[in-house]
Structure 1
Amino acid sequence: MSLEHHKDATLRYQQQVDNSRDYVLPFIQQEFPQLDGLRVMEVGCGEGGVLTPLLEKGCQCVGVDLAPARIELAKSYLGNYLPSGQLRLIAKNIYDVDFLGEFRNSFDIIILKDAIEHIPDQEKIIGHLKQLLSPRGQVYFGFPPWYMPHGGHQQICANRFLSMVPYIHLLPRPLYKGTLRLFGEENDIVSELMDVKSTGISIERFEKIVRRQQYKITRRRFYMINPIYKYKFGVSAREQFKPIASIPFVRNFFTTCMYYMIKPE
């Protein structure tokens, strides 16, 4: 059962705005209380909803996405910020030499919201982001741990049963793929879900990469109930119980979302 926001870009954009304004922005402001004038980049900006509250606070923003169609959508929602230069929206790979040449050491805040779990070679991109940070810069990450009940994004399945089954993404690859096909999922959905299975990231793996790339975690928050569920399902966000959050690996199965701020050591 594909959820409504998967098909409705305007609804998806508004959910991003609300979640960013109510949860992402306050989290970032614990490290950057004064936002006016800060330079911000979002990697995988999609429709631009996460950036909207930051623009409203006076940030200078750059939104980057590999999908030109999503950049065009962002322009349709955020066009008022483009003429002044407060916002730039770019369909480009941040590894491109000309991108690095233009934006090296530029950003006070880099945002990856629901993005890192889709990116191959997560160690490479986390290391690469250092080159784009200003001397005081930090990176915000928000993502669902891979082992949580719907960490495989199986909610995008057309089949209602499959979309609701928790932990099904943890099946071995051949069995998972075969199950998706057995229940009639289209090839593009199967391909997307198998890609997520290849790139999904756990809490421990993320933190290991952060340490190896010589960052330090400045702020961390575990959510038992992901804040975005408030806007998708009407269920209030809830932070994870501290005893569960303290148990490595086990916490992945019961934590639906992680927020981090990290900065180079």
Structure 2
Amino acid sequence: MQDRHENRNIYFKELSITSRNYFIPYIQCWHPVEATMNVLEIGCGEGGNLLPFSEIGCNTTGVDLAESRIKDARTFFNESHTKGEFIASDIFKLKKLNRSFDIIICHDVLEHITRKELFLSDLSKYLKPQGIVFISFPAWQMPFGGHQQICRNRILSHLPFIHLLPVSIYRLLLKVFKVDADCIKELLSIKKTSVSIESFERLIRKTNLSILNRQLWFINPHYEIKFGLPPYKLNHTISQIPYLRDFASTSCFYLLKEKE
């Protein structure tokens, strides 16, 4: 387990840097990001992704299941002298938000959601006409698509592709390395709710959303602040090859809009 998984202030600051340097510029290629715009993040955690939007002057709202994360978000925003509204709730149980949104962000959240089709279909009810959705997720088959980096065991947290093992063998391996029960439960849950590029695009076709743009990354932009690795886009030819591209896509950026 890395320090950022325990020190959430570090994680908050790192996410804000990646959002400022990569998420916002990517969105701006297709949609303006301007003061007074309404921005919603679902699965906001401590709110790091939203901080640069707030600094621009956007009206930011974050929703997350974990009350502790929402509490931290409010604290970190106050310390940064920025404004944001944060709500501790299951998005499926949230009956109403007090505004519709120009931009909706779902960063590294989709791979944790069971009812993906319902989740994606429901995004439209929060979206303004001509609004846009930014979704990013790690392709399941990529080396650390199982999130094994959250393990405290240093060996196990650095073993690539182990999440692709059959469930019984994967569980046994985790127990052999003495991973605690809660961590095993989380890792097996992620395995159950995993998402690939192909499964995601099939789901989108079932909703009233369409893909405006897709950018696959061989080196995730967030790795720049985490590991000092410069971001690198996936080779165009490989990005067009179904299933093979999943093994090489450490992050998948999508911009979605409502179908016309």
1:263 aligns with 257
1:92 aligns with 89
Q: Would the aligned equivalents of 2:24 and 2:33 in 1 still touch at CA under 8 Å? A: no
SS of structure 1 residue aligned to 2:15: helix
CA shift, 1:33, in A, is 2.4
Among candidates 244, 247, 251, match of residue 253 of structure 1 = 247
Indicate how the Cα distance of structure 1 residues 80 and 58 shifts in structure 2: closer, same or farther if over 3 A, else same.
Answer: farther
1:58 aligns with 57
Q: Would the aligned equivalents of 2:31 and 2:132 in 1 still touch at CA under 8 Å? A: no
Q: Would the aligned equivalents of 2:74 and 2:84 in 1 still touch at CA under 8 Å? A: no
RMSD of aligned Cα (Å): 1.5
Q: Percent identity?
A: 39
Say how many residue pairs are matched. Answer: 259
User: Are 2:131 and 1:122 aligned?
Assistant: no
TM-score normalized by the length of structure 2: 0.96
2:149 aligns with 155
TM-score normalized by the length of structure 1: 0.94
Q: Would the aligned equivalents of 1:39 and 1:60 in 2 still touch at CA under 8 Å? A: yes
Q: For structure 1, which runs of at least 5 residues remain unmatched after alignment? A: none
1:33 aligns with 32
CA shift, 1:177, in A, is 0.7
Q: Would the aligned equivalents of 1:100 and 1:132 in 2 still touch at CA under 8 Å? A: no
Indicate how the Cα distance of structure 1 residues 80 and 134 shifts in structure 2: closer, same or farther if over 3 A, else same.
Answer: farther
In the alignment, the residues of structure 2 paired with residue 118 and residue 165 of structure 1 have an alpha-carbon distance, to the nearest angstrom, of 21
CA shift, 1:81, in A, is 8.2
Among candidates 146, 162, 172, match of residue 168 of structure 1 = 162
Among candidates 161, 164, 188, match of residue 194 of structure 1 = 188
CA shift, 1:212, in A, is 1.1
In the alignment, the residues of structure 2 paired with residue 103 and residue 254 of structure 1 have an alpha-carbon distance, to the nearest angstrom, of 40
**Any idea what the Cα deviations from partners look like across 1:24-54, whole Å, max 9, x if unmatched?**
1111111222421111100011111000000
CA shift, 1:189, in A, is 0.8
Indicate how the Cα distance of structure 1 residues 250 and 47 shifts in structure 2: closer, same or farther if over 3 A, else same.
Answer: same
Among candidates 136, 153, 156, match of residue 142 of structure 1 = 136
**Dislocated runs of 4+, deviation >6 Å:** none
1:183 aligns with 177
In the alignment, the residues of structure 1 paired with residue 160 and residue 57 of structure 2 have an alpha-carbon distance, to the nearest angstrom, of 41
Indicate how the Cα distance of structure 1 residues 245 and 234 shifts in structure 2: closer, same or farther if over 3 A, else same.
Answer: same
Give the aligned residue type for 1:226: N
SS of structure 2 residue aligned to 1:101: coil
Give the aligned residue type for 1:254: A
Give the aligned residue type for 2:84: L
